Structures are given as structure tokens and as C-alpha cells.
């Protein structure tokens, strides 16, 4: 009889331990706990634009200064004045420039830029604002801070949208051929193949002087 009692007590002990080891949770609660807070690229980019971009734009390098520095020592100049998130030939810079409008088109404004003794024929993008030029030229976003590639792309998209919706409309409606404009713009440069003629600038701050 004692033998059977021992078996029963042992079985009860096993059942009790197993019961204590099981934790029941609602599936909805489990999903809620496992869901990470989504990154709000729009809010982040707007804060970046309002709080940190103004200083960056104020300190943009003058285009003639950048050109002279690259011609003198491209390695030093690219390190000092340009940024890029990815390894490669493409680098991005914030530049100040004065220009004369030579033609106003549907999706761009053609300009002449005086740079030393040279006159550069270039363009200001006014419609198709895409890619990573604005994000990377600012130097405000680092890959190590955003391991999720989609977050990095979302930041670029949000910054591009700000420029399209807040910077360019008033300029596009007022600019005319012959105007002199002052701009701070993002520009993409291929450090292995520098071509100053034909550059496209993305205006981040722009005003019409006359």
C-alpha cells in the first residue's frame, strides 16, 4: 500500500511542476508585445529639417571654393566638404551659388554660374526630387544609427518631399528668365570623373535677387 501511495505522490508532484511551468497568454497580447514601434520617418525628417538643417545650410561651402579645393587636392577636399553613406565614387555636398537663369522649363531651371573665370552651365531641379542627395549631403544621418535600410530610404523620401512641397513651389511660380538667384543646394559628384559643366543642383534654400 505504501508503494502505491509513493507512486501517486510522485505523479502529483510531476503534474504540479508541469503546471507551474506553463504560462498562458492571449495571442493578441503576445503580438502586441512583439511588435516594435514603427519608425516615423516623416516626423524625424521634419525635426531634422527644422532643427539641424538651417545650420548646415548656413555653413555650406561656396561652389568656387569647392572647385578650387578639389582641383588642388581632391582627396582632402572630398573628405572635408562632402559626405556619403555608401562606399563608392559618388559623394554629396551642400554648396552655395549665385546664378543667372537662362531658361525656365517644366521640371528644371537652367542657369549659368560664375565660378572664377569660368561660366558653368547647370540646372536647378524643380520637379523630380528623388534619391539620397539631400540626406547624404547634409551629413546628419549615419548608417550605424539606422541598420534598417528601409528606414534610411524613408528618411530620403521624407526630405525630398519637404523640398518639393515647401521650398520649390513659391520659387517655381515666380522665377523668370534673366533672374539672378541665390541658392544653397545639394549636388552629387563622382570623385573619379569630375565634370563641372552640366551639374544638377537640388535647391534647399533659394531666393530670387532680381
pLDDT at residue 86, as a whole number: 83
Q: Going by DSSP bridges, is the β-strand pair 180-190/108-115 parallel, antiparallel, or unpaired?
A: unpaired
**H or E element in which residue 30 lies:** helix 27-34
Domain count of the chain? 1
C-alpha cell at 153: 530610404
Instruction: Name the pTM for this structure.
Output: 0.81
Kindly report the CATH number assigned to the domain that includes residue 102: 2.40.50.420
- Under 8 Å between Cβ of 100 and 176: no
Q: Which ranges in 73-167 belong to alpha helices (H)?
A: 74-81, 133-138, 149-162
Integer Cα distance of 78 and 48 in angstroms: 24
Q: Is the pLDDT of residue 80 over 70?
A: yes
pLDDT interval class at 34 (50, 70, 90): very low
For the chain, give the mean pLDDT.
Answer: 87
Name the residue with cell 534654400.
Answer: 205
pLDDT interval class at 134 (50, 70, 90): very high
Terminal-residue alpha carbon distance, the chain: 109
User: What domain range includes position 123?
Assistant: 2-208
Q: What is the mean pLDDT of residues 12-22?
A: 52
Q: Is the pLDDT of residue 31 over 80?
A: no
pLDDT at residue 144, as a whole number: 81
Name the residue with cell 571654393.
Answer: 65
Amino acid at each position: 500500500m505504501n508503494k502505491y501511495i509513493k507512486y501517486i505522490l510522485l505523479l502529483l508532484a510531476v503534474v504540479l511542476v508541469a503546471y507551474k511551468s506553463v504560462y498562458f497568454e492571449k495571442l493578441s497580447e503576445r503580438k502586441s508585445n512583439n511588435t516594435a514601434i514603427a519608425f516615423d520617418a516623416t516626423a524625424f525628417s521634419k525635426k531634422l529639417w527644422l532643427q539641424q538643417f538651417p545650420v548646415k545650410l548656413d555653413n555650406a561651402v561656396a561652389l568656387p571654393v569647392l572647385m578650387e579645393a578639389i582641383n588642388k587636392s581632391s582627396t582632402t577636399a572630398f573628405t572635408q566638404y562632402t559626405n556619403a553613406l555608401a562606399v563608392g565614387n559618388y559623394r554629396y555636398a551642400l554648396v552655395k551659388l549665385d546664378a543667372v537663369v537662362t531658361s525656365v522649363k517644366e521640371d528644371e531651371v537652367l542657369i549659368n554660374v560664375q565660378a572664377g573665370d569660368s561660366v558653368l552651365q547647370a540646372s536647378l531641379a524643380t520637379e523630380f526630387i528623388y534619391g539620397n542627395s539631400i540626406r547624404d549631403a547634409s551629413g546628419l544621418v549615419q548608417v550605424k544609427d539606422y541598420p534598417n535600410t528601409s528606414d534610411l530610404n524613408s528618411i530620403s523620401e521624407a526630405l525630398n518631399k519637404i523640398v518639393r512641397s515647401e521650398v520649390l513651389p513659391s520659387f517655381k511660380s515666380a522665377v523668370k528668365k534673366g533672374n539672378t538667384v541665390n541658392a544653397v543646394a545639394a549636388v552629387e559628384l563622382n570623385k573619379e570623373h569630375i565634370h563641372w559643366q552640366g551639374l544638377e543642383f537640388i535647391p534647399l534654400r533659394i531666393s530670387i535677387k532680381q
